Amino acid sequence: MKLKLICCEVLYREMCAMVARTPHQVDVEFLPKGLHDIGAEGMLRRLQEVVDSADPERYDAVLMGYALCGNGIAGLEARRLPLVAFRAHDCIAILMGSRQAYDQYIQENSGVYFRSTGWLERGKNLEQSMLRTSKKKSGAGFSLEELISQYGEDNGRYLWEQFNQYQNNYRKLAYIETGLESDGSFEEQARREAVEKNWEFQKLQGSLRLFEKMIFGRWDDGDFLVVPPGGRIEPTYDDSIIRIAGAAS
């Protein structure tokens, strides 16, 4: 088969490892992690543009290297080629090998912030850029003293608490190792981040299972949704995650 893979850059190493081994011809287009931060509507619009650019005379199907991702692929249409998508809420489930493994871990562990090789090497610059933008627009990133000076005692303290509240929800940083790491530098980065935030650190064994199944063309209904031309992806809000619009989940 000749396949077009459209993928978030956070999964760069994992996807490239599978593309190098598959018997199929796979052309890859990686998109920036920042798509997740422009809202579901903007993300969908950009993904649809890239999907529509795939030549039906050249490819047999388009592979989506994305999970549901905050409804970022909800509404995505297979207009000229079949679409293949993971049945997963986010990329953490993909990195862990199944949504069942992810769900079980979350049930047993609360307040967990996840890191992987891709999140560490491709997310840092974006997060810094977003912080600078947010600081200019809303005050996020300012110190407590700066906010009090600009907005007054009560308002300054309120804003500071709101901007930093997200960290109070986390108690643990879990680093997902997939076996593709060249050395221990990514794990060390994750450990340092956990120490800086005063969180517990845990290393999890990830899996390339879903990456391999997608790139090798093993698209069973349990792990994937295959959308024929004319179909559209919609969320199900149950364990199947996504379905073809209008179909029973």
Q: Looking up tokens 């491709």, which residue turns up?
A: 122
85 CB neighbour count, 10 Å cutoff: 24
Mean pLDDT across 152-174: 68
For residue 165, pLDDT beyond 70 = no
Range of weakest confidence among 78-92, 102-116, 144-158, 212-226: 144-158
pLDDT in tens, 64-82: 999 998 899 999 999 999 9
Q: Please, what are the domains in the chain?
A: 2-96+208-244 (3.40.50), 99-139+165-205 (no CATH)
DSSP 74: T
Burial of 190: CB neighbours in 10 Å, binned 0-12, 13-18, 19+: buried
Mode of pairing for the β-strands spanning 172-177 and 200-205:
parallel
Whether the CB-CB separation of 233 and 85 falls below 8 Å is answered with yes
